């Protein structure tokens, strides 16, 4: 269960950033979790200066929120933020699917099908965190195939934030990312039907959003002070 292998320490900044990203996507770091500097220093055997830098990067990606003098916390997206994230995903992933449709080949298609199967299997076994991880990877992999690193970077951020949103507003029973929909999307891609694939992706994202109970429950670690003062 060691979070890090005994590789070249000190770890590079981006490695630490990716580890935190991964932990968020796998629901290991829930929304609102405090990220104390000391804890991170020990976890990654890093200096405080490095951790501080990493936290700034993560805040720039909206995965953590910095409260001045109070520390860093895993973000708790509000209901309106959640809407914005899904709208952004539809905009970006529609374009991603259109590009991927022309770029995709047999090998990558098979890889995505394998991902879908593995996700369904994990879900069946009740391994929720693994299922979530694979489902997120499906979308990111598609962006990589589309070959636009700008959009891929944005999507990585949005997938992580989606994970937080599901953690906050998702009912535990509802499927969050149906592998069946991934499969029909792949069918459209295999058939070269770009437009249909794009529409399916948009529907898919709508379904995920609708499966959530996105009411404006402040719920999580609301900071009383910030609301009252100023």
Partner DNA sequence: GGAGACAGGATTGTCAACAATCTAGCTTTT
Partner DNA sequence: AAAAGCTAGATTGTTGACAATCCTGTCTCC
Can you give the binding site for DNA, defined by CB under 7 A?
10, 34, 36-38, 47-50, 52, 66, 68-72
Q: Give 64 or 177: the residue with its C-beta nearer to DNA.
A: 64
d(CA 28, CA 20): 9
15 touches a copy of itself by CB under 8 A = no
75 touches a copy of itself by CB under 8 A = no
d(CA 126, CA 38): 34
Looking at the DSSP bridge assignments, the partners of residue 74 are 64
Number of Cα atoms under 13 Å in the Cβ half of residue 120 = 11
Distances (CA, A) of 173 to 42, 51, 156: 36, 36, 25
Q: Give 42 or 111: the residue with its C-beta nearer to DNA.
A: 42
Q: Which does 56 bind (CB under 5 to 8 A by kind): DNA, a copy of itself, none?
A: a copy of itself
Distance of CA 161 to the CA centre of its chain: 5
Minimum distance from residue 81 beta carbon to DNA (Å): 22
Q: Give 134 or 160: the residue with its C-beta nearer to a copy of itself.
A: 160
Minimum distance from residue 222 beta carbon to DNA (Å): 12
């Amino acid at each position: 269960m060691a979070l890090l292998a005994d590789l070249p320490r000190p770890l590079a900044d981006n490695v630490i950033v990716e580890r935190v990203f991964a932990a968020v996507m796998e629901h290991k770091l829930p929304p609102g979790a405090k990220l104390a500097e000391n804890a991170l220093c020990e976890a990654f055997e890093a200096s405080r200066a490095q951790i501080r830098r990493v936290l700034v990067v993560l805040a720039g990606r909206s995965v953590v929120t910095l409260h001045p003098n109070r520390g860093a916390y895993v973000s708790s997206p509000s209901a309106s933020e959640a809407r914005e994230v899904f709208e952004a995903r539809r905009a970006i992933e529609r374009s991603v699917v259109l590009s991927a449709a022309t770029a995709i080949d047999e090998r990558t298609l098979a890889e995505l099908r394998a991902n879908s199967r593995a996700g369904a299997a994990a879900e069946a076994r009740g391994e929720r965190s693994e299922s979530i991880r694979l489902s997120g990877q499906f979308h990111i992999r598609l962006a990589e195939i589309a070959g636009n690193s700008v959009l891929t970077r944005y999507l990585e951020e949005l997938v992580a934030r989606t994970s937080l949103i599901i953690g906050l507003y998702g009912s535990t029973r509802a499927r969050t990312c149906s592998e069946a929909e991934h499969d029909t999307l792949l069918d459209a891609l295999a058939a070269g039907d770009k437009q249909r694939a794009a529409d399916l992706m948009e529907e898919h994202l709508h379904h995920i959003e609708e499966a959530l109970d996105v009411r404006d429950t402040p719920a999580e670690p609301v900071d009383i002070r910030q609301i009252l003062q100023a």
